[in-house]
Amino acid sequence: MRLKNVPGARETIDASAFTIPEPEVWKGRWQEVFGRQAPLHIEIGMGKGQFLTALAAEHPDINYIGIEKFSSVLVRAVQKQNELELPNLRLIRMDADSITDVFASGEVDRIYLNFSDPWPKERHAKRRLTSVEFLRRYENILAKDGHVEFKTDNQPLFEFSLEAAEEAGWKLLAVTRDLHHDTALNKGNIMTEYEERFSAQGNPICKMILCQA
């Protein structure tokens, strides 16, 4: 995917009080960043922040961290947070490969993966955020009863993710191939920018919730 360059994006991100420039420093100490003890939920590949911003506003009792590696995308989330100033939301510009350098064992209660890059070429399978390799990383940071929530409209990626979860020994708590027509799973669903676009095109949205067995 070719991303449009946004002049001044890096400067805007670095200047925000809601972005964390050296997240490794806070490994095991994220409660200090928020100044309170609360469950910690993170979104990997947060895009422009529509999903996580809405979630943080709805659940002030939970601490949220959004992770995005592209400055030209993250800057939109930063600008939105600069306006809203939600006290329970922080943002990080980083690659998900380094997630175990940023969060300590058992520190994260929930991980959201929304419309992640499918990396369609087989040689890039390990880069998919639901690959066995990434599930191993999540095992290192998730709390004992923590879980991962994954949404996508990409059917091949969803099938791959189901197989990866089984291979990694994870347990499926819920699965649907048509989220918006699943009364139980769609309750309280917050749509991302991509979800709105793809569902408007008639694409069914798949979702799974999984945890360590």
Biggest alpha carbon–alpha carbon distance for the chain: 45
117 among annotated binding-site residues: yes
pLDDT digits (tens, 9 = 90+) for 149-206: 999 999 999 999 999 999 999 999 999 999 999 999 999 999 999 999 999 999 999 9
- Known catalytic residues are 117
pLDDT digits (tens, 9 = 90+) for 37-53: 999 999 999 999 999 99
Mean pLDDT for 61-87 is: 97
CB 91 within 8 A of CB 66: yes
At 2, is the pLDDT very low, low, confident or very high (cuts 50, 70, 90)?
very low
On whether residue 3 sits in a domain, the answer given is no
Query: Looking at residue 203, what is its pLDDT?
Result: 95
**Which residues pair with residue 42 across a beta bridge?**
65, 111
Query: Looking at residue 38, what is its pLDDT?
Result: 98
Mean pLDDT for 16-31 is: 98
On whether residue 109 sits in a domain, the answer given is yes
On whether residue 2 sits in a domain, the answer given is no
Contacts of 41 (CB under 8 A, 6+ apart): 55, 62, 63, 64, 65, 108, 109, 110, 111, 112
Structure tokens at 180: 């918006």
187 among annotated binding-site residues: no
DSSP secondary structure letters along 118-187: ---SGGGGGGSTTSHHHHHHHHHHEEEEEEEEEEES-HHHHHHHHHHHHHHTEEEEEEES-GGG-HHHHT
DSSP secondary structure letters along 52-95: HHHHHHH-TTSEEEEEES-HHHHHHHHHHHHHH--TTEEEEE--
Residue 146 is part of which domain span?
A: 9-212
On whether residue 4 sits in a domain, the answer given is no
Mean pLDDT rounded to a whole number for the chain? 96
On whether residue 176 sits in a domain, the answer given is yes
At 113, is the pLDDT very low, low, confident or very high (cuts 50, 70, 90)?
very high
At 6, is the pLDDT very low, low, confident or very high (cuts 50, 70, 90)?
confident
Query: Looking at residue 204, what is its pLDDT?
Result: 97
69 among annotated binding-site residues: no
On whether residue 90 sits in a domain, the answer given is yes
97 among annotated binding-site residues: no
192 among annotated binding-site residues: yes
Round the CA-based radius of gyration of the chain to a whole number and report it. 16
Mean pLDDT for 20-35 is: 98
196 among annotated binding-site residues: no
Q: In this model, does residue 1 exceed pLDDT 50?
A: no
Amino acid in the structure at residue 142: L
Q: In this model, does residue 11 exceed pLDDT 60?
A: yes
On whether residue 63 sits in a domain, the answer given is yes
195 among annotated binding-site residues: yes
Mean pLDDT for 19-40 is: 98
At 3, is the pLDDT very low, low, confident or very high (cuts 50, 70, 90)?
low
On whether residue 69 sits in a domain, the answer given is yes
Query: Looking at residue 130, what is its pLDDT?
Result: 98
- The CATH number of whichever domain residue 179 belongs to comes to 3.40.50.150
Domain count, the chain: 1
